């Protein structure tokens, strides 16, 4: 792992890292799972985190043993229905749903001239960032529609570093999802997992929640790792 002083950029997931919106994604998927007769479990919810729209639907159908029950057109209709329900839940979204400490953290990064990019699989991420009033802090955003592979494939984090003209090794990626941590690790960036360390055990650095995510704490954790590596 590089030293903290060599870090130049930060690559952000959105849902569950910057905003509380992963709860709304889960609510809308849960609603659809009920309609499709697939039993919702915490494990299924964790598997869906960070995963793109159609891949999520396919995971739900597979989980319920229904992967061959629907045509592509029917699946597109169900995915649209989930998205309509998700958008309804976003109606009242505002700054108050930025997760604890994240606004200050992002402002601190900008003040220290780190480059910042967005690595969210969500096609709704521009809308969400605008509603949160945080769009201006992002130097670049990866458009998930331009990707060949979703998380856990490394493509989105490789691209998130590339759009900043940085090597992944010079960047730190932040994730709340296991699929996202796998994606960061595959790209070569340093992975910060935010949430249950048992679920995010592959991350280079773990924090239990967003309020612990500060430049000082990241530096401390990287220094600890450096000592262990030596």
Choosing among Mg ion, ligand G6P, none, which partner's interface includes residue 48 (Cβ < 5 to 8 Å by kind)?
Answer: ligand G6P
Return the range that interacts with ligand G6P (CB under 6 A); candidates 42-50, 93-101, 135-143, 194-202: 42-50
Report the helix count and the strand count for the chain, using DSSP H and E: 9, 6
Nearer to ligand G6P, 7 or 98 (CB): 98
Check binding of 95 to ligand G6P (CB under 6 A).
no
For tokens 């649209």, the residue is 80
Which positions from 61 to 90 touch ligand G6P by CB under 6 A, shown as an x/- string?
Answer: ----------------------x-------
What are the structure tokens assigned to 2, written together? 């590089």
Check binding of 206 to ligand G6P (CB under 6 A).
no
Dist. CA 28–CA 22, nearest whole Å: 10
Of 47, 117, 124, 158, which lies in the binding site for ligand G6P, with binding defined by CB under 6 A?
124
Check binding of 25 to ligand G6P (CB under 6 A).
yes
Cis status of the peptide bond prior to 163, with omega within 30 of 0: no
Q: Where are the beta strands (DSSP E) in 97-181?
A: 115-118, 140-141, 171-175
Check binding of 191 to Mg ion (CB under 5 A).
no
Q: How far is the CB of 83 from ligand G6P (least distance, A)?
A: 5
Check binding of 140 to Mg ion (CB under 5 A).
no
- Any idea which residues carry the catalytic annotation? 13, 15
Nearer to Mg ion, 176 or 204 (CB): 176
Of the candidates 95, 109, 93, the residue with the CA atom closest to the CA atom of residue 25 = 93
Q: How many CB atoms lie within 10 A of CB 82?
A: 21
Return the range that interacts with ligand G6P (CB under 6 A); candidates 39-47, 95-103, 117-125, 130-138: 117-125
Q: Are 190 and 11 in contact (CB under 8 A)?
A: no
> How would you classify the pairing of strands 190-194 and 9-12?
unpaired
Which positions from 13 to 32 touch Mg ion by CB under 5 A, shown as an x/- string?
Answer: x-xx----------------
What are the structure tokens assigned to 140, written together? 């670049």
What are the structure tokens assigned to 45, written together? 């919810």
For tokens 């000592």, the residue is 227
Choosing among ligand G6P, Mg ion, none, which partner's interface includes residue 187 (Cβ < 5 to 8 Å by kind)?
Answer: none
Q: Are 11 and 184 in contact (CB under 8 A)?
A: yes
Binding residues for Mg ion, per CB under 5 A? 13, 15-16, 50, 176-177
What is the contact surface with ligand G6P in residues (CB under 6 A)?
15, 22, 25, 48-53, 56, 83, 120-124
């Amino acid at each position: 792992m590089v030293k903290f002083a060599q870090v130049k950029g930060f690559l952000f997931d959105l849902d569950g890292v910057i905003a509380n919106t992963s709860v709304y994604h889960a609510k809308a998927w849960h609603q659809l799972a009920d309609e499709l007769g697939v039993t919702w479990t915490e494990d299924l919810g964790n598997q869906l985190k960070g995963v793109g729209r159609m891949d999520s639907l396919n995971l739900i159908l597979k989980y319920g043993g229904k992967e061959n029950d629907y045509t592509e057109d029917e699946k597109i209709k169900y995915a649209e229905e989930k998205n309509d329900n998700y958008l309804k839940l976003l109606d009242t979204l505002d700054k108050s749903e930025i997760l604890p400490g994240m606004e200050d953290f992002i402002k601190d990064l900008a003040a220290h001239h780190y480059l910042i990019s967005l690595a969210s699989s969500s096609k709704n991420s521009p809308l969400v960032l605008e509603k949160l009033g945080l769009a201006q802090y992002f130097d670049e955003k990866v458009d998930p529609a331009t990707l060949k592979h979703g998380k856990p494939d490394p493509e989105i984090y490789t691209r998130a570093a590339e759009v900043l003209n940085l090597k992944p090794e010079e960047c730190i990626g932040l994730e709340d999802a296991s699929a996202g941590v796998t994606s960061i690790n595959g790209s070569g960036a340093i992975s910060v997992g935010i949430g249950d360390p048992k679920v995010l055990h592959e991350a280079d650095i773990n924090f239990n929640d967003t309020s612990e995510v500060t430049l000082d704490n990241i530096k401390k954790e990287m220094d600890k790792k450096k000592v262990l590596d030596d």
